[in-house]
């Protein structure tokens, strides 16, 4: 399935585009947001895309052939600073993050993200690096698995499922998505109607093996440092832990640090780096009807303050 960009007009408004500006799309995907940004920019505008998924990068390379204002980087966005440095860029006018997985990732059984179809138990956004879900489930101890399912999936049967995984792998390694689905299904004493029994487990394992919260945490500080004065940061999250991290980061970076009033801090330290632009924005009824992925999306916007 094509990827329908979520909260598109809200994201464009949040970026407050300047026709000659330089913008970064940290999560290029299939380029829905990037293309809309390029459309709004003039001939001297520029968009840099990041994605760690090689399939997304292939689409980005094709776009860069069509439109010289666009460049794609095959990097995780935690390498924001290094990525921009490789292009000789040190300040940008706006940054967009549209977190999570894309529809093509979910819909391609060979990527192993989906509990709906059968495929190798992979779930890596970048299958050329790090451990697959099958590799991790083959070696992680029961306590670690239970913790991941509980924290990232809010799975109330986390312990039972972790125990069932460790028992099942004594017989044979869990290599496919349906092998994991079967273990998860049989480990649960009760199955919620209307929700696939493996939803939470798959989400949690995906977030863990792709280090999704860690990536976000590493990137936010670096992004703020490279925003030009007035530059915008727009983040679309799909998970409550992600949104909480963004909300806290925005709040802390938009408040002056608590200091000792007898020892005033220099302006460069005392002036907050960000200004909050909007409260959480969610999809309206029309988008919710046409794009079910938008259901859990929350968009937040902040701007880099002008120097004091």
Ligand X SMILES: C[S@@+](CC[C@H](N)C(=O)[O-])C[C@H]1O[C@@H](n2cnc3c(N)ncnc32)[C@H](O)[C@@H]1O
d(CA 195, CA 275): 39
Phi, psi of 66 (to 5 degrees): -75, -35
Encode burial over 114-127: b for 16+ CB neighbours within 10 A, e otherwise.
bbeeebbbbbbbbb
Pick from 254, 242, 248: which is nearest to 296 by CA? 242
Q: Is 29 in the site for ligand X (CB under 6 A)?
A: yes
Minimum CB separation of residue 169 from ligand X in Å reads 28
C-alpha dist (Å) from residue 197 to 58, 127, 268: 34, 26, 51
Can you tell me which of 7, 37, 56, 299 binds ligand X, judged by CB under 6 A? Answer: 56
Minimum CB separation of residue 27 from ligand X in Å reads 3
Give the DSSP letter of residue 198: T
Pick from 277, 281, 278: which is nearest to 297 by CA? 281
Q: Is 50 in the site for ligand X (CB under 6 A)?
A: yes
Q: Is 94 in the site for ligand X (CB under 6 A)?
A: no
Q: Is 100 in the site for ligand X (CB under 6 A)?
A: yes
User: Residues touching ligand X: how many (CB under 6 A)?
Assistant: 21
d(CA 6, CA 96): 12
Q: Is 21 in the site for ligand X (CB under 6 A)?
A: no
Can you tell me which of 98, 242, 243, 287 binds ligand X, judged by CB under 6 A? Answer: 98
| Binding range to ligand X, per CB under 6 A, among 25-33, 63-71, 109-117, 239-247 | 25-33
**Binding residues for ligand X restricted to 213-242, rule: CB under 6 A:** 215
Q: Is 77 in the site for ligand X (CB under 6 A)?
A: yes
Minimum CB separation of residue 283 from ligand X in Å reads 14
| Binding range to ligand X, per CB under 6 A, among 52-60, 111-119, 253-261, 296-304 | 52-60
Minimum CB separation of residue 56 from ligand X in Å reads 4
Q: Is 304 in the site for ligand X (CB under 6 A)?
A: no
Q: What is the total residue count of the chain?
A: 308
State the number of CA atoms in the 13 A half-sphere of 176 facing the CB: 8
Can you tell me which of 15, 21, 24, 30 binds ligand X, judged by CB under 6 A? Answer: 30
d(CA 69, CA 42): 9
Residues that bind ligand X (CB under 6 A): 3, 5, 27, 29-33, 50-53, 56, 76-77, 98, 100-102, 125, 215
């Amino acid at each position: 399935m094509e990827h329908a960009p979520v909260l598109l007009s809200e994201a464009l408004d949040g970026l407050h585009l300047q026709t000659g500006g330089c913008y970064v799309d940290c999560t290029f995907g299939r380029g829905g947001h990037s293309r809309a940004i390029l459309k709004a920019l003039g001939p001297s505008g520029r968009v840099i895309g990041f994605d760690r998924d090689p399939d997304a990068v292939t689409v980005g390379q094709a776009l860069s052939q069509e439109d010289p204002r666009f460049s794609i980087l095959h990097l995780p966005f935690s390498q924001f600073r290094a990525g921009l440095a490789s292009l000789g860029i040190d300040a940008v006018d706006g940054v967009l993050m549209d977190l999570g997985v894309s529809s093509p990732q979910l819909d391609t059984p060979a990527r192993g993200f989906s509990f709906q179809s059968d495929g190798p138990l992979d779930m890596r956004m970048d299958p050329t690096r790090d451990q697959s879900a099958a590799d991790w489930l083959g070696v992680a101890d029961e306590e670690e698995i239970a913790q991941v399912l509980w924290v990232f999936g809010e799975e109330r049967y986390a312990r039972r499922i972790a125990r069932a995984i460790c028992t099942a792998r004594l017989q044979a390694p869990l290599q496919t998505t349906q092998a994991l689905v079967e273990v998860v299904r049989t480990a649960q004493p009760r199955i919620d109607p209307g929700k696939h029994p493996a939803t939470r487990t798959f989400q949690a394992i995906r977030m863990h093996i792709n280090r999704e919260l860690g990536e976000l945490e590493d990137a936010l500080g670096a992004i703020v440092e490279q925003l030009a004065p007035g530059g915008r940061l727009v983040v679309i999250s799909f998970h409550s832990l992600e949104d909480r991290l963004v909300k806290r980061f925005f709040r802390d970076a938009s408040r002056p640090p608590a200091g000792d009033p007898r020892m005033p801090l220099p302006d460069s330290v005392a002036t907050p780096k960000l200004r909050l632009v909007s409260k959480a924005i969610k999809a309206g009824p029309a988008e919710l009807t046409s794009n079910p992925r938008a259901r859990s999306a929350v968009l937040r916007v902040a701007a880099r303050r002008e120097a004091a």
